[in-house]
């Protein structure tokens, strides 16, 4: 019997595999018993209703995809009335993903989703901060710290900060989130990207640019998960291109405590079920008693100090 359970800031997950926000909903329960997952992470909501971006909202690139959905949301009232009650039928912890364009709006929403049935809040600080220059909160350490501090005051629930790869200051932003009160880091969101139809010369996404996800994002997300685990003392949840149990092992070894599976579910809706089963088998074969024994075991030897310089000049 291997032990797949992990601990994220005092919350026990039966296994380290959970969905990435935006790639999971009640609809998936039509395919398999979603009770098998480590946690349920809902699609990011905003306080008010939002329509989202113009179409096309998705296109594929070599072995990966771009999306610009634009956080369509039915608002917080619908979330509390319909989404939270649906998941109360499950014992699996519920993680509410939220976003806001101003610190005040963000903190108010954080307070509003602090309800019975929600076990943790994932704060999508990768969204634009319209009070400054529209750049995502988590692009800079200062705006990350400022927003996290207000979110921290708004809830007693564990706060997971979802970071963006669109920054040149990964370690600094991670530390700023920790200092601002984050209990865990989700590393990371999609990477800003673009694709153009050479025949029509039009961008393939209605919003011109969008987020890259899928296998080609994995090495970048892995590098960031490694950096964040080194830079902070809070748990890191790896996210980016994870599609197999080997990918999970790679993130755990790099220092992540758990992982989120996103785009892989679009290709194989039962991907997470397969990954969990494979992970268990893999640990049995390798005679590893607990998945926790793998966390941060990367054999990086004497090169640890090079992490900072590598970001400047690979």
162 annotated among ligand-binding-site residues? yes
Long-range contacts, 302-305 (Cβ 8 Å, 24+): 304/230
For 270, residues 6+ apart whose C-beta sits below 8 A from its C-beta are 31, 32
> Residue 44 or residue 103: which is nearer to other proteins going by CB?
44
Interface with other proteins by CB under 8 A: which range of 19-27, 95-103, 149-157, 305-313?
Answer: 19-27
The residue within the footprint of other proteins, chosen from 15, 23, 143, 227 (CB under 8 A), is 23
The burial class, CB within 10 Å (0-12 / 13-18 / 19+), for 139 is buried
Assign residue 98 a region: left if phi > 0, alpha if psi is -120 to 50, beta otherwise? beta
DSSP 3: B
> Residue 268 or residue 297: which is nearer to other proteins going by CB?
268
Quick check: is 228 catalytic? no
For the segment 290-309, give every residue that binds other proteins (CB under 8 A).
Answer: none
The residue within the footprint of other proteins, chosen from 12, 88, 89, 219 (CB under 8 A), is 89
The least CB distance from residue 290 to other proteins, in Å, is 20
43 annotated among ligand-binding-site residues? yes
The least CB distance from residue 266 to other proteins, in Å, is 5
Nearest to 25 by CA among 87, 68, 75: 87
Q: Is 194 in the site for other proteins (CB under 8 A)?
A: no
The residue within the footprint of other proteins, chosen from 32, 133, 277, 281 (CB under 8 A), is 32
Rounded Cα gap, residues 137 and 214, in angstroms: 23
The least CB distance from residue 51 to other proteins, in Å, is 5
The least CB distance from residue 62 to other proteins, in Å, is 7
Which whole-number Å values give the CA distances from 88 to 44, 117, 164, 234, 310, in the listed order? Answer: 18, 6, 30, 27, 45
Q: Is 155 in the site for other proteins (CB under 8 A)?
A: no
Q: Is 55 in the site for other proteins (CB under 8 A)?
A: yes
**Under 8 Å between Cβ of 178 and 143:** no
168 annotated among ligand-binding-site residues? no
For residue 96, the SS3 value is: strand
The catalytic position among 36, 59, 110, 127 is: 127
101 annotated among ligand-binding-site residues? no
The residue within the footprint of other proteins, chosen from 28, 80, 192, 220 (CB under 8 A), is 28
Nearest to 183 by CA among 246, 129, 110, 109: 110
Q: Is 266 in the site for other proteins (CB under 8 A)?
A: yes
Interface with other proteins by CB under 8 A: which range of 49-57, 137-145, 151-159, 280-288?
Answer: 49-57
Interface with other proteins by CB under 8 A: which range of 59-67, 96-104, 249-257, 284-292?
Answer: 59-67
Positive or negative, the Cα torsion across 47, 52, 58, 64? negative
For residue 55, the SS3 value is: coil
Query: Which residues form the catalytic set?
Result: 127
Q: Under the rule (CB under 8 A), what is the footprint of other proteins? A: 22-25, 27-33, 35, 43, 51-52, 55-65, 67, 69, 72, 89-91, 214, 265-270
């Amino acid at each position: 019997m291997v032990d797949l359970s992990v601990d994220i800031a005092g919350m026990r997950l039966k296994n380290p595999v959970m969905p990435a926000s935006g790639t999971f909903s009640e609809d998936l329960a039509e395919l398999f018993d979603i009770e098998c997952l480590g946690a349920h992470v809902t699609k990011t909501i905003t306080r008010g209703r939002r329509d989202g971006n113009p179409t096309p909202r998705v296109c594929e690139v070599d072995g990966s995809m771009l999306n610009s959905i634009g956080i369509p949301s039915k608002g917080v009232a619908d979330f509390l009335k319909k989404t939270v009650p649906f998941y109360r039928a499950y014992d699996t912890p519920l993680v509410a993903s939220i976003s806001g364009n101003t610190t005040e709006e963000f903190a108010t929403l954080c307070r509003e989703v602090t309800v019975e049935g929600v076990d943790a809040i994932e704060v999508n600080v990768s969204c634009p901060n319209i009070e400054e220059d529209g750049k995502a909160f988590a692009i800079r350490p200062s705006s990350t710290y400022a927003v996290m501090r207000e979110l921290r005051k708004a809830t007693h629930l564990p706060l997971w900060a979802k970071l963006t790869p669109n920054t040149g200051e990964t370690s600094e932003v991670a530390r700023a989130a920790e200092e601002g009160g984050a209990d865990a880091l989700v590393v990371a969101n999609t990477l800003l990207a673009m694709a153009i139809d050479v025949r029509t010369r039009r961008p393939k996404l209605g919003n011109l640019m969008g987020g890259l996800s899928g296998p080609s994002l994995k090495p970048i997300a892995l590098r960031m998960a490694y950096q964040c685990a080194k830079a902070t003392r809070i748990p890191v949840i790896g996210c980016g291109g994870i599609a197999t149990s080997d990918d999970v092992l790679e993130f755990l070894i790099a220092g992540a405590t758990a992982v989120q599976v996103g785009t892989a579910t679009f290709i194989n809706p039962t991907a997470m079920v397969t990954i969990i089963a494979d992970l268990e088998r893999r640990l049995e074969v390798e005679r590893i008693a607990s998945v926790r024994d793998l966390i941060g075991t990367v054999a990086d030897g004497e090169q640890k100090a090079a992490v900072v310089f590598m970001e400047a000049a690979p």
